[in-house]
Structure 1
Amino acid sequence: MATFLYKLGRFAFRRRGFVALIWVALLAVAGVGAATASQPANDSFSIPGTEAQKAFDLLEQRFPGGNADGATARVVFRAPSGEKMTDPANKAEVTKTVAELKASSPQVASVADPYQARAVSKDGTTAYILTSYKVNAMELEDPAKDGLKEVGEKAQKSGLTVQIGGDALQEMPETGSTEIIGIAISAVVLAVTFGSLVAAGLPLLTALIGVGIGISSITALATTLGLSTTTSTLAMMIGLAVGIDYALFIVSRYRAELAEGRDREEAAGRAVGTAGSAVVFAGLTVVIALVGLAVVNIPMLTKMGFAAAGTVVIAVLIAISLIPAVLGFAGKRVFGRKARRRLEERAAAVAAGGEGVPEEKPNMGTRWARFVLRRPLMVLLVAVLGLGAAAVPAVSLELGLPDDGSQPVSSQKRQAYDMISEGFGPGSNGPLMVVVDAKGSDDARGAAQQVRKVITGLDGVAAVSPATFNKAGDTATLTIISQYKPSSIDTENLVGDIRDEASGFTSDTGAEVLVTGQTAMNIDISQKLNDALVPYLVLVVGLAFLLLMVVFRSVLVPLKAALGFLLSVVAALGAVVAVFQWGWLADLFGVEETGPIMSMMPIFMIGVVFGLAMDYEVFLVTRMREAYVHGERPGQAVVTGFRHGARVVTAAAVIMISVFAGFIGSSESMIKMIGFGLAIAVLFDAFVVRMAIVPAVLALLGKAAWWLPRWLDRALPNVDVEGEGLRRQLERPSAAQRHDRDSDPDAELTRV
């Protein structure tokens, strides 16, 4: 592979205009395709294999034209002090609002008058209008949302306190200035790392081109492949991350080759042949992690994973073709002025016979590696114990999906949530729906009455509505109000209790009982993600272990990489629990409401962080492997790897941390949690695992680190990531050189 990539790098450098034109043309074609494509449909969110989804599907069949999974909005009213919502003037205002909501959009399915639906609190101070829509929140059009907002604003002018909650208004989270600061830090880090604005701009430019092609392609193919507008979210974030990383490593290796005195074309070829090989295999690990999300069997998550994987593939292709082409355009400006002057002085000294060649001073990476080699056991113990301490809170990890109760206190959704909790009880914010399929029962109404009676007697049930039947009279729905808030463990236990009773209903009455509703759906999603966590982890880590074994020609190095990754992820989850569940340093990170950790967080962190962690592992350790294969002692190979790779890996990690940390400023608790979790995970993995545990373990293992059974060595394909085959080929004299040497009598005397 190294030889092929070497030739590709030289070709791209020589034909840089042609290669650059191809990529610009691809960007233009993708852009035109995206601009002319029809508007993609929003995902109809479904969770195959769950009871809640089964109930939704049943309702669509038995209640045609219904909106069981449609979006809902609660327009909540509170009377001024001393007044009640039953006062004639206030009642008239609410009645007028009901009429306006019905006329606000064709997507409105029903609007419940609070005075007829018993949606007025016992003390008379609070009332709410429940508005149901024909489509789910993702399919709700902007005019419908705007109409809802306008009705709420008009009602507010009456003197009543009016807030709107529910999932109908999917507000764009505010990320604040911290995200911009994160991007600015990335640019500064690149400039400091390279000491050249041109070199710093190359990774950003090529990463943006790759993301542009990827996102435009997703948009252009959205209708054909059934992709939604949300599919590109993960693709954009991962595409930028790996795009910058891959370009950073190849540009850095190109500069190192130039510093060793090679001409520009040769330097480009060797950079792509060596660092490019690492890029290809690092990209494969990321693709494995993203495609592996299909194991969860949530269609939206699967589509996001495949789309992001496609963007990663584009980033890899750009790194091994467009980067060497752009380096050809950059010329000597890939170095800063001071660096160019030092290189010229060094070249002049070498040409003069080597006298006066300045000695290379050990950088921070070299000094740190030598320190670890002197005290490997101490460094290993401190690093492992530190991550172990950070991981302790993960033992009490509670998973769930956030609701409006986790929104900032200042948000409209949160205020509506609190008003309903105070007026009607916390369970009113997330009612459960029980579906009674009485098609196999002789007495459908009797079965529904029995179900209602049993559920009413369960602990934690505040109220149960009378059964509502379909036209055929064989299916009924009941609404259950819990005594607890929707995202609590108590509500989860209540759903479990109802489902435990379901088997008894079936045996006694012949009716099948299913629990659904948004709250039950959230519980089922959390359970599905929990069940998929171990298979996903085994699949991703197992395939990556095999891939890294091929790359490093070792058994222990991939094992160490996988164990180190698991340690960093568990430590990061512990930090997330400490901040977002326990409330430690909550004020510092702007966490207004603690509660269960988003159920998607563990699997999401494993997928994203695993890809980035393996990037750092491949780029750092392949340089060590390269030095070891070329004859250096194991300890010296570690130092060489750090001398060439530590600075670049550090820069890449700081960039990722700053970008992810930018999301901590978001007003959305879920986005804030993701930003914090990814930032702290990269911090742990890059600076504790890769920079401390990796060299310490390699120092303790010595030559054993690179041990591979002979039978396995023969069985595994030799991909030559370290470029040993390339080096032998480049050092082997050509046929013309051998002919000249054989025909030269002086050469014969020299050989003798």
Structure 2
Amino acid sequence: MGNFSVRVAGWCARRAWWVVGGWVVLVALCLGVGLGVGNRPAVTADYRVGEAGRAEGIAAEGGVGRRPVEYVMITGRAVGAEMPVDAGVVTAVTQGLAGVPGVVAVGEPVWSRDRRAVRIDLTLGVDEREAARAAGEVRARTEAVQRARPEVVVTQTGRASIGRAVEQQRGQDIARVEMITLPVTLVTLVLVFFSLGLALVPVLLALSSIAAAVGLSMVASHVFPDAGVGTNVILLIGMAVGVDYSLFYLKREREERARAGGRLCAVALVDLAAATAGRVVVTSGLAVVVSSATLYLVDDVIFSSLATGAVLVTLVAVVSSMTVLPAALVLLGRTSERRARRVPAGKVTGALIRGIERNPVRTLVAATLVLLALAAPILGMRITDMGPETHPRELAAVQAYHQLTDTFPEVKAIHQVVVRGAGPEATKAIADLALRDPSISGPATVRTSADGRTQVLDLAVPHFVSEQAAQDSLRRLREQYVPAVLGQMKGVEYAVSGDVARYVDYPRHQQERLPWVIGALLLVTLLITAVAFRSVVLGVIGVVLNLLSAAAAIGVLVWVFQGRWAEGLLDFTSTGSIGSRVPLFLFVILFGLSMDYQFFFISRVREAVLAGVPTRRAVFEGMRRSASVITSAALVMVTVFAAFVGVHLIEVKQTGLSLAVAVLVDAFVVRTLVLPSLLLVLGDRVWWPRSVR
């Protein structure tokens, strides 16, 4: 791998202008092709998992699949008073909502018990994943009705409206994150290199890698449909690894330049950097790619979309570091030489070395206990999906949703019993049983397919999906009421879906896949590390330390977000749980990113040992040579990830905080204290089964 890196870097360095120009053309081509073929978004069928997914498949085959519903609520202007309008006004509003594109049915007005509000249900004739656009058209009509009837308050909400508002909020948050991370990253790199030119190189390479990956992800979406999160992960991971890999390479080139003292040309210096840092970049990138690819094992469209984004942007970042970066270093020329002599010595690193040298066992035990303490809250982690009630209340659609559900609690959630091959009498019998349940309210409605073979029973649940009462009612429906009627019938297919079922089945599906993902992740980490350094012991160390690092980060996540103490500090409302997608995504991504620092540090130690330095002294030599790089890279990564803590969406906020904490823990505890201490304790045994020499 080292020879390959040298050959590629040398070829690019000798054709610097051509390579830089070719890279610009390649990025433009990736974007152009992506825009040309277009993005293929995931549809509702792509999200089906578990029993809920099976029920939705049966209903869709019968032509009675679930249609999204938007709710329009009419209330009077006077707070606390009876509604100052008559039925004629309500009829006029209802008529004003008719004929909206995408709306296939306008329900009869439903009055609240106190007669102070009216609800009108609008059924959309589109796929649930396309409902956000249709909801926007409905909103335009709702606002027109509001202008025509100023004597009442007309509000619109629903899952489609909330989804549309969340997507808009996500876009605004991402734009704000970019405004924060770019200048902060640039300032950090200027402080590292004392050169604006050198600082711009990693930032520009990261941005170009992100742009190319976005274009490629559009092409890939025709194989792995885009769940709407691909661009987010490309930005999140791309900025971090893009700057990270460039930083590793730049630091090594500057070190070689300072050591050469002007006796070597720019191409020779690039060759030296490629032989060492280039090899680390390729190996680390491969580790992130393979680790991210284990998310495909979840067999879920969202995780496949996350995996695709992470894999593509990492591959592009590795390619840019191997090709464009050497060319850019040659073009920068003497500027790098002048700046290379201004690298200050690390006093903190010296103090750490002295402390570890005095008692490595005590350092190892103390640091490990700290990590275990941080990881302890995992034992109480509660994983749930996020319902519409968990989204930020600053959004108008979410505010309207809470007003609606306070007035009409029956629209909070729904159970859907799908039956194929049984008569309507069986469906009615299920409804009779279910309506006796204290957590299920009427009236029940039944939709029948055109051929009469498939029925869908809709049952209202006056509880949010996150409430235990709603989940208990689902369990009784699945385990008691439905089997009591259909359990002995031959040739009958049935399953239960609905809002609560989706909420329950999605995390359950992930938990079933979790052993496969973790097993694959541990195996690839062990193999990549063992092969890279020709040591089984180092492979095992890598697995154990990555587990500790990831566990500590997720433990902090649980401590912060499952409680209420940090709500005001981080501006969120605790759901008492962690988003179902967050821990698994973090676990996989952190395993990949954690190996960056480990590979860079161990490669410096191994390099010294190969030069004849005893292992004990080589550990300290590796610390001296890698500390500033790891610290600088960690500061950049923390800046990128921490910026996501300021977004409004709680799952993105959780992800940003965890990644920032993980990088801090990994860089300043695991790779600075635990790993060096462990290497000192093990000595030459770390190179087993063969001597590094």
Fold shared by both chains (TM-score > 0.5): yes
The Cα offsets for residues 13-59 of structure 1, whole Å up to 9 and x where unpaired, read as 11212222321221232233234444645544524552111111111
Contact 2:377–2:555 under 8 Å retained in 1: yes
Q: Which residue of 2 aligns with 1:12?
A: 12
Query: Structure 2: which amino acid aligns with 1:540?
Result: L
Query: Structure 1: which amino acid aligns with 2:32?
Result: V
1:559 aligns with 2:540: yes
Q: How much does 1:203 deviate?
A: 0.7
The Cα offsets for residues 340-381 of structure 1, whole Å up to 9 and x where unpaired, read as 5x69xxxxxxxxxxxxxxxx9554334323322223223223
Q: Which residue of 1 aligns with 2:142?
A: 151
Query: Structure 1: which amino acid aligns with 2:448?
Result: F
Q: Which residue of 1 aligns with 2:487?
A: 507
1:72 aligns with 2:69: yes
Query: Structure 2: which amino acid aligns with 1:406?
Result: T
Q: Which residue of 2 aligns with 1:289?
A: 291
Q: 1:433 aligns with which of 416, 436, 441?
A: 416
| d(CA) in 1 for partners of 2:337, 2:131 | 52
Q: Which residue of 1 aligns with 2:405?
A: 421
Q: 2:122 aligns with which of 119, 128, 131?
A: 131
The Cα offsets for residues 91-124 of structure 1, whole Å up to 9 and x where unpaired, read as 444433333333232x223222233xxxx32222
1:622 aligns with 2:603: yes
1:493-642 equivalences in 2 (<5 Å): 493-501=472-480, 502-510=482-490, 511-642=492-623
Query: Structure 1: which amino acid aligns with 2:411?
Result: S
Alpha carbons of structure 1 residues 481 and 225: separation in structure 2 relative to 1, 3 Å: closer
Contact 1:121–1:424 under 8 Å retained in 2: yes
1:256-267 equivalences in 2 (<5 Å): 256-261=255-260, 262-267=264-269
Q: Which residue of 1 aligns with 2:359?
A: 375
Secondary structure of the structure 1 residue equivalent to 2:457: strand
Alpha carbons of structure 1 residues 448 and 67: separation in structure 2 relative to 1, 3 Å: closer
Q: Which residue of 1 aligns with 2:654?
A: 673
Secondary structure of the structure 2 residue equivalent to 1:486: coil
Alpha carbons of structure 1 residues 566 and 225: separation in structure 2 relative to 1, 3 Å: closer
Q: Which residue of 1 aligns with 2:273?
A: 271
Alpha carbons of structure 1 residues 38 and 7: separation in structure 2 relative to 1, 3 Å: closer
Secondary structure of the structure 1 residue equivalent to 2:123: strand
Q: How much does 1:627 deviate?
A: 1.3
1:61 aligns with 2:53: no
Alpha carbons of structure 1 residues 141 and 81: separation in structure 2 relative to 1, 3 Å: closer
| d(CA) in 2 for partners of 1:260, 1:616 | 23
Alpha carbons of structure 1 residues 391 and 223: separation in structure 2 relative to 1, 3 Å: closer
Q: 1:98 aligns with which of 77, 89, 94?
A: 94
The Cα offsets for residues 175-224 of structure 1, whole Å up to 9 and x where unpaired, read as 28565333322212111111111111111111122222221233356558
| d(CA) in 2 for partners of 1:614, 1:606 | 13
Alpha carbons of structure 1 residues 495 and 207: separation in structure 2 relative to 1, 3 Å: same
| d(CA) in 1 for partners of 2:579, 2:176 | 24
Alpha carbons of structure 1 residues 177 and 528: separation in structure 2 relative to 1, 3 Å: same
1:451-470 equivalences in 2 (<5 Å): 451-458=430-437, 460-463=439-442, 465-470=444-449
Higher mean displacement: 624-633 or 26-35: 26-35
Alpha carbons of structure 1 residues 547 and 395: separation in structure 2 relative to 1, 3 Å: same
Contact 2:225–2:305 under 8 Å retained in 1: no
Q: How much does 1:430 deviate?
A: 1.8
Query: Structure 1: which amino acid aligns with 2:544?
Result: L
Alpha carbons of structure 1 residues 376 and 196: separation in structure 2 relative to 1, 3 Å: same
Alpha carbons of structure 1 residues 509 and 531: separation in structure 2 relative to 1, 3 Å: same
Question: Which segments of structure 1 move beyond 6 Å, counting only runs of 4 or more?
Answer: none
The Cα offsets for residues 503-556 of structure 1, whole Å up to 9 and x where unpaired, read as 343334454432112332232111111221221011012112111001122222
Q: Which residue of 1 aligns with 2:181?
A: 182
1:342-421 equivalences in 2 (<5 Å): 361=345, 363-421=347-405
Secondary structure of the structure 2 residue equivalent to 1:265: helix
Q: Which residue of 2 aligns with 1:479?
A: 458
Alpha carbons of structure 1 residues 138 and 296: separation in structure 2 relative to 1, 3 Å: same
| d(CA) in 2 for partners of 1:202, 1:103 | 55
Q: Which residue of 2 aligns with 1:734?
A: none
Higher mean displacement: 634-643 or 411-420: 411-420
Q: 1:334 aligns with which of 326, 333, 336?
A: 336
Contact 2:412–2:461 under 8 Å retained in 1: no
Higher mean displacement: 239-248 or 411-420: 411-420
Query: Structure 1: which amino acid aligns with 2:474?
Result: V
Q: 1:306 aligns with which of 300, 305, 308?
A: 308
| d(CA) in 2 for partners of 1:463, 1:382 | 60
Alpha carbons of structure 1 residues 559 and 224: separation in structure 2 relative to 1, 3 Å: closer
Secondary structure of the structure 1 residue equivalent to 2:417: strand
| d(CA) in 2 for partners of 1:592, 1:362 | 42
How many residue pairs match? The answer is 679
Alpha carbons of structure 1 residues 538 and 42: separation in structure 2 relative to 1, 3 Å: closer
Q: Which residue of 2 aligns with 1:235?
A: 234
Q: 2:625 aligns with which of 644, 660, 665?
A: 644
Contact 1:433–1:479 under 8 Å retained in 2: yes
Query: Structure 1: which amino acid aligns with 2:322?
Result: I
Larger Rg: 1
Q: How much does 1:226 deviate?
A: 5.3
The Cα offsets for residues 272-293 of structure 1, whole Å up to 9 and x where unpaired, read as 1111111111111111122111
1:112 aligns with 2:107: yes
Contact 1:663–1:675 under 8 Å retained in 2: yes
| d(CA) in 2 for partners of 1:361, 1:151 | 65
Q: How much does 1:615 deviate?
A: 1.2
Alpha carbons of structure 1 residues 74 and 5: separation in structure 2 relative to 1, 3 Å: same
Query: Structure 2: which amino acid aligns with 1:270?
Result: L
Contact 2:142–2:155 under 8 Å retained in 1: no
Alpha carbons of structure 1 residues 406 and 153: separation in structure 2 relative to 1, 3 Å: farther
Q: How much does 1:679 deviate?
A: 1.6
Q: Which structure 1 residue ranges, 5 or more long, are not aligned? A: 344-359, 714-721, 725-752
Q: How much does 1:466 deviate?
A: 4.1
The Cα offsets for residues 682-720 of structure 1, whole Å up to 9 and x where unpaired, read as 222222222221112112112222222x5xx9xxxxxxx
Query: Structure 2: which amino acid aligns with 1:104?
Result: V
Alpha carbons of structure 1 residues 567 and 225: separation in structure 2 relative to 1, 3 Å: closer
Contact 1:464–1:478 under 8 Å retained in 2: no
Q: How much does 1:674 deviate?
A: 1.8
Q: Which residue of 2 aligns with 1:34?
A: 34
Contact 1:254–1:271 under 8 Å retained in 2: yes
Alpha carbons of structure 1 residues 616 and 436: separation in structure 2 relative to 1, 3 Å: same
Alpha carbons of structure 1 residues 586 and 88: separation in structure 2 relative to 1, 3 Å: closer
Secondary structure of the structure 1 residue equivalent to 2:576: coil
| d(CA) in 2 for partners of 1:104, 1:48 | 29
Secondary structure of the structure 2 residue equivalent to 1:435: strand
Contact 1:404–1:413 under 8 Å retained in 2: no
Alpha carbons of structure 1 residues 496 and 14: separation in structure 2 relative to 1, 3 Å: same
| d(CA) in 2 for partners of 1:308, 1:542 | 19
| d(CA) in 2 for partners of 1:466, 1:181 | 51
Alpha carbons of structure 1 residues 275 and 515: separation in structure 2 relative to 1, 3 Å: same
Contact 2:412–2:462 under 8 Å retained in 1: no
Q: Which residue of 1 aligns with 2:669?
A: 688
| d(CA) in 1 for partners of 2:223, 2:294 | 23
| d(CA) in 1 for partners of 2:612, 2:71 | 71
1:168 aligns with 2:160: yes
Contact 2:535–2:687 under 8 Å retained in 1: yes
Contact 2:16–2:328 under 8 Å retained in 1: yes
Q: Which residue of 2 aligns with 1:738?
A: none
